Amino acid sequence: MIDAATIRKDFPLLERRYGDTPLVYLDSAATTQKPNSVIDAISTYYRETNANVHRGAYRLADEATTAYESARTKVAGLINARSSSEVIFTRGTTAALNLLALRWADHLLSEGDRILLTLMEHHSNIVPWQLVAQRTGAELVYLDITPDFAIDLDRLDEVLDERVKIATVSGMSNVMGTIGPVDEITKAARAVGASVIVDGAQLVPHMPVDVQALDVDFLTFSAHKMLGPTGIGALWGRGELLDAMEPLEGGGEMITDVGLYESRWAPIPHKFEAGTPPIAQAVGFGAAVDYLVDLGMDDVRAHELDITAYALDRLAEVPDLTVYGPQDPARRGGAVSFELADIHAHDLATILDEEQGVAVRAGHHCAKPLMRHLEVPATARASFYVYTVPEDIDALVIGLMRAREIFGIA
Amino acid sequence: MIDAATIRKDFPLLERRYGDTPLVYLDSAATTQKPNSVIDAISTYYRETNANVHRGAYRLADEATTAYESARTKVAGLINARSSSEVIFTRGTTAALNLLALRWADHLLSEGDRILLTLMEHHSNIVPWQLVAQRTGAELVYLDITPDFAIDLDRLDEVLDERVKIATVSGMSNVMGTIGPVDEITKAARAVGASVIVDGAQLVPHMPVDVQALDVDFLTFSAHKMLGPTGIGALWGRGELLDAMEPLEGGGEMITDVGLYESRWAPIPHKFEAGTPPIAQAVGFGAAVDYLVDLGMDDVRAHELDITAYALDRLAEVPDLTVYGPQDPARRGGAVSFELADIHAHDLATILDEEQGVAVRAGHHCAKPLMRHLEVPATARASFYVYTVPEDIDALVIGLMRAREIFGIA
Amino acid sequence: MSLQELYREVILDHYRNPRHRGHLPSPDVHAEGENPSCGDEFSLDLDVDGQTVAAIATQGQGCSISQASGSMMAEAVVGKSLDEIHELTSRFKRMMSIEEGESPVDEERPGSVLGDLEALQGVRRFPVRIKCADLPWTTLEDAIRRVEQGSEVLP
Amino acid sequence: MSLQELYREVILDHYRNPRHRGHLPSPDVHAEGENPSCGDEFSLDLDVDGQTVAAIATQGQGCSISQASGSMMAEAVVGKSLDEIHELTSRFKRMMSIEEGESPVDEERPGSVLGDLEALQGVRRFPVRIKCADLPWTTLEDAIRRVEQGSEVLP
Ligand SMILES: Cc1ncc(COP(=O)(O)O)c(C=O)c1O
Ligand SMILES: Cc1ncc(COP(=O)(O)O)c(C=O)c1O
Q: How many CB atoms within 10 Å of residue A154?
A: 11
Residue B88's H or E segment, with its range, is strand B87-90
How far is B371 from B364, CA to CA, in rounded Å? 6
Q: Which residues of C touch A345 (CB under 8 A)?
A: 63
Q: Does position C115 have pLDDT exceeding 90, yes or no?
A: no
In this structure, the answer to whether residues A289 and A341 fall within a common structural domain is no
Hey, which bits of A187-294 come out as E strands?
A: 195-199, 218-222, 233-237, 255-258, 263-265
pLDDT tens, residue by residue, C29-82: 999 998 877 788 999 999 999 899 999 999 999 999 999 999 999 999 999 999
Q: Length of chain D in residues, anyone?
A: 155
The strand pairing partners of B168, in sequence order, are: B197
Name the minimum distance, in Å, from the CA of C144 to any CA of chain B: 22
Confidence class of residue D108 from pLDDT cuts 50, 70 and 90?
low
Q: Any CB–CB contact under 8 A between D3 and chain A?
A: no
What lies within 8 Å, CB to CB, of B332 at 6+ separation is B172, B176, B177, B178, B179, B308, B325, B326
Query: A11 phi and psi, to 5 degrees?
Result: -115, 95
Which among A264, A294, A324 is the end of a domain? Answer: A294
Q: In this structure, what CATH number is given to the domain that contains residue B361?
A: 3.90.1150.10
pLDDT at residue A95, rounded to an integer: 98
Q: Does position C107 have pLDDT exceeding 70, yes or no?
A: no
pLDDT at residue B11, rounded to an integer: 98
Distance (Å) from CA A369 to ligand 2 centroid: 15
Q: Using CA atoms in the order B383, B389, B390, B393, what is the torsion angle rounded to 10 degrees?
A: -30
Q: Which atom of ligand 1 is nearest to the CA of B225?
A: 10
In a domain, A324, yes or no: yes
For a mutational test of ligand 1's pocket, the pick from A254, A273, A276, A279, i.e. the residue with the most ligand atoms closer than 8 A to its C-beta, is: A276
Q: Does position C106 have pLDDT exceeding 90, yes or no?
A: no
In the three-class reduction of DSSP (H, G, I as helix; E, B as strand; rest coil), residue D54 is classed as strand
Q: Any CB–CB contact under 8 A between A268 and chain D?
A: no
In this structure, the answer to whether residues B283 and B357 fall within a common structural domain is no
Closest ligand, as measured to the CA of A95:
2
Average confidence (pLDDT) over A1-21: 96
Taking Cα atoms as reference points, which of B63, B32, B36, B35 lies closest to residue B48?
Answer: B63
Which among B294, B328, B347 is the end of a domain? Answer: B294
Q: Select the residue from C37, C64, C130 to test the A interface by mutation, using most A Cβ atoms within 10 A.
A: C64
In a domain, B14, yes or no: yes
Q: Does position A241 have pLDDT exceeding 60, yes or no?
A: yes
Residue-wise DSSP of B22-83: EPEE-BTTT-----HHHHHHHHHIIIII---SSS--SHHHHHHHHHHHHHHHHHHHHTT-S-
pLDDT tens, residue by residue, A41-52: 999 999 999 999
pLDDT at residue D106, rounded to an integer: 52
How far is A218 from A211, CA to CA, in rounded Å? 8
Provide the sign of the torsion angle of the four alpha carbons C118, C123, C125, C127, taken in this order.
Answer: negative
Query: A100 phi and psi, to 5 degrees?
Result: -65, -40
Helices C64-77 and C82-97 pack at an angle, to 10 degrees, of 150
Contact D128 A266 (CB under 8 A): no
Question: What b/e readout covers B240-262, taking b as 16+ CB neighbours within 10 angstroms?
Answer: eebeebebbbbbbbbbbbbebee
Confidence class of residue C112 from pLDDT cuts 50, 70 and 90?
low
Q: In this structure, what CATH number is given to the domain that contains residue B91?
A: 3.40.640.10
Q: Which residues of D touch A255 (CB under 8 A)?
A: 36
pLDDT tens, residue by residue, A108-139: 999 999 999 999 999 999 999 999 999 999 99
pLDDT tens, residue by residue, D1-58: 578 888 999 999 999 999 999 999 999 999 999 887 778 899 999 999 989 999 999 9
In a domain, A195, yes or no: yes
- Least reliable range by pLDDT among B93-97, B129-133, D125-129: D125-129
Distance (Å) from CA A315 to ligand 2 centroid: 26
What's the maximum distance between 2 C-alpha atoms anywhere in chain A? Answer: 75
Classify residue D150 by its DSSP letter. T
In this structure, the answer to whether residues A53 and A18 fall within a common structural domain is no
In a domain, B410, yes or no: no
For a mutational test of ligand 2's pocket, the pick from A27, A94, A151, A368, i.e. the residue with the most ligand atoms closer than 8 A to its C-beta, is: A94
Q: Any CB–CB contact under 8 A between A362 and chain C?
A: yes
Is residue A221 within 8 Å of A205, Cβ to Cβ? yes
The strand pairing partners of B145, in sequence order, are: B151
Confidence class of residue C117 from pLDDT cuts 50, 70 and 90?
confident
Q: Does position B58 have pLDDT exceeding 90, yes or no?
A: yes
What lies within 8 Å, CB to CB, of D84 at 6+ separation is none
Contact C36 B59 (CB under 8 A): no
Confidence class of residue C99 from pLDDT cuts 50, 70 and 90?
low
The strand pairing partners of B383, in sequence order, are: B27, B335
Average confidence (pLDDT) over A284-298: 98
Q: Any CB–CB contact under 8 A between A397 and chain D?
A: no
Which among A245, A261, A294 is the end of a domain? Answer: A294
pLDDT tens, residue by residue, B330-385: 999 999 999 999 999 999 999 999 999 999 999 999 999 999 999 998 999 999 99
Q: Any CB–CB contact under 8 A between A351 and chain C?
A: yes
Q: Which atom of ligand 2 is nearest to the CA of A94?
A: 11
Most confident of A273-282, B50-59, C99-108: A273-282
The residue nearest atom 16 of ligand 1, judged by CA position, is B174
Q: What is the mean pLDDT of chain A?
A: 97
The strand pairing partners of B17, in sequence order, are: B22
Ligand 2 close to Cβ of residue B253 (< 6 A)? no
Distance (Å) from CA A220 to ligand 2 centroid: 9
In this structure, the answer to whether residues B219 and B343 fall within a common structural domain is no
pLDDT at residue A223, rounded to an integer: 98
In this structure, the answer to whether residues B308 and B162 fall within a common structural domain is no
pLDDT at residue D109, rounded to an integer: 47
Confidence class of residue A325 from pLDDT cuts 50, 70 and 90?
very high
Q: Which residues of D touch A266 (CB under 8 A)?
A: 36
Contact D128 B350 (CB under 8 A): yes
Q: Does position B161 have pLDDT exceeding 60, yes or no?
A: yes
Classify residue A223 by its DSSP letter. G
pLDDT at residue D103, rounded to an integer: 46
Task: Please name the residue of chain C whose CA is at the shortest distance from the CA of residue B267.
Answer: C36
Burial class (CB in 10 A: 0-12, 13-18, 19+), A27: buried
In this structure, the answer to whether residues B302 and B284 fall within a common structural domain is no
Q: Any CB–CB contact under 8 A between C7 and chain A?
A: yes
Q: Any CB–CB contact under 8 A between B266 and chain C?
A: yes
Contact A346 C62 (CB under 8 A): yes
Contact B252 A123 (CB under 8 A): yes
Percent of chain B with pLDDT over 90: 97
CA angle B299–B304–B307, rounded 5-degree value: 125
Distance (Å) from CA A225 to ligand 2 centroid: 8
Residue A289's H or E segment, with its range, is helix A279-295
Contact A62 D128 (CB under 8 A): yes
Residue tagged active-site, from A189, A318, A366, A374? A366
Q: Distance between alpha carbon A147 and the CA centroid of its chain, in Å? A: 24
CA angle A83–A88–A91, rounded 5-degree value: 155
In the three-class reduction of DSSP (H, G, I as helix; E, B as strand; rest coil), residue A136 is classed as helix
Residue-wise DSSP of B265-334: EPPTTGGG--SS--HHHHHHHHHHHHHHHHH-HHHHHHHHHHHHHHHHHHHHTSTTEEEES-S-GGGB-S
Q: Does position A177 have pLDDT exceeding 80, yes or no?
A: yes
Provide the sign of the torsion angle of the four alpha carbons B331, B333, B334, B340, taken in this order.
Answer: negative
pLDDT at residue C109, rounded to an integer: 47
pLDDT at residue D151, rounded to an integer: 59
Residue boundaries of the structural domains of chain D: 3-149
Cis previous bond, D110, omega within 30:
yes
Burial class (CB in 10 A: 0-12, 13-18, 19+), B67: buried
Contact B408 D6 (CB under 8 A): no
pLDDT tens, residue by residue, B67-124: 999 999 999 999 999 999 999 999 999 999 999 999 999 999 999 999 999 999 999 9
For a mutational test of ligand 2's pocket, the pick from A100, A122, A176, A368, i.e. the residue with the most ligand atoms closer than 8 A to its C-beta, is: A122
In this structure, the answer to whether residues B191 and B205 fall within a common structural domain is yes
The domain in which residue A16 lies consists of 4-30+296-405
In the three-class reduction of DSSP (H, G, I as helix; E, B as strand; rest coil), residue A408 is classed as coil
How far is D136 from D60, CA to CA, in rounded Å? 9
Q: How many CB atoms within 10 Å of residue A192?
A: 15
In this structure, the answer to whether residues A197 and A51 fall within a common structural domain is yes
Distance (Å) from CA A30 to ligand 2 centroid: 8
Q: Which amino acid is at D108?
A: E
In a domain, A410, yes or no: no
Classify residue A103 by its DSSP letter. I
The number of distinct structural domains making up chain B is: 2
Q: Which amino acid is at D133?
A: A
Which of D:68-127 have CB within 8 Å of A?
Answer: 127
In a domain, A142, yes or no: yes
Is residue A333 within 8 Å of A201, Cβ to Cβ? no
Q: Length of chain A in residues, anyone?
A: 410
Q: Which amino acid is at B315?
A: L
Task: Please name the residue of chain D whose CA is at the shortest distance from the CA of residue A266.
Answer: D36
Which one is the CATH code of C3-149: 3.30.479.30, 3.40.50.720, 3.90.1010.10, 3.40.50.620?
3.90.1010.10
In this structure, the answer to whether residues A188 and A322 fall within a common structural domain is no
Q: Which residues of B touch D16 (CB under 8 A)?
A: 342
- Least reliable range by pLDDT among B179-183, C4-8, C45-49, C80-84: C4-8
Task: Please name the residue of chain C whose CA is at the shortest distance from the CA of residue A344.
Answer: C63
In a domain, A392, yes or no: yes
In this structure, the answer to whether residues A134 and A236 fall within a common structural domain is yes
Average confidence (pLDDT) over A26-41: 98
Q: Which residues of B touch A92 (CB under 8 A)?
A: 275-276
Confidence class of residue A372 from pLDDT cuts 50, 70 and 90?
very high
The strand pairing partners of A221, in sequence order, are: A234
In this structure, the answer to whether residues A159 and A70 fall within a common structural domain is yes
On the CB side of A323, CA atoms within 13 Å amount to 26
In this structure, the answer to whether residues A167 and A307 fall within a common structural domain is no
Active site residue A366: yes
Q: Any CB–CB contact under 8 A between C132 and chain A?
A: yes
Is residue A30 within 8 Å of A383, Cβ to Cβ? yes
Q: Is C55 left (phi over 0), alpha (psi -120 to 50) or beta?
A: beta
Residue-wise DSSP of chain C: --HHHHT-HHHHHHHHS-TTBS--SS-SEEEEEE-TTT--EEEEEEEEETTEEEEEEEEEE--HHHHHHHHHHHHHHTT-BHHHHHHHHHHHHHHHHSPTTSPPS-TT-SS-SSGGGGGGGGGGG-HHHHHHHHHHHHHHHHHHHHHHTTTT---
Is residue B93 within 8 Å of B199, Cβ to Cβ? yes
On the CB side of A258, CA atoms within 13 Å amount to 28
Contact C128 B55 (CB under 8 A): no
Bridge-based pairing state of the strands A195-199 and A164-170: parallel
Confidence class of residue D111 from pLDDT cuts 50, 70 and 90?
very low
Q: Any CB–CB contact under 8 A between A62 and chain D?
A: yes
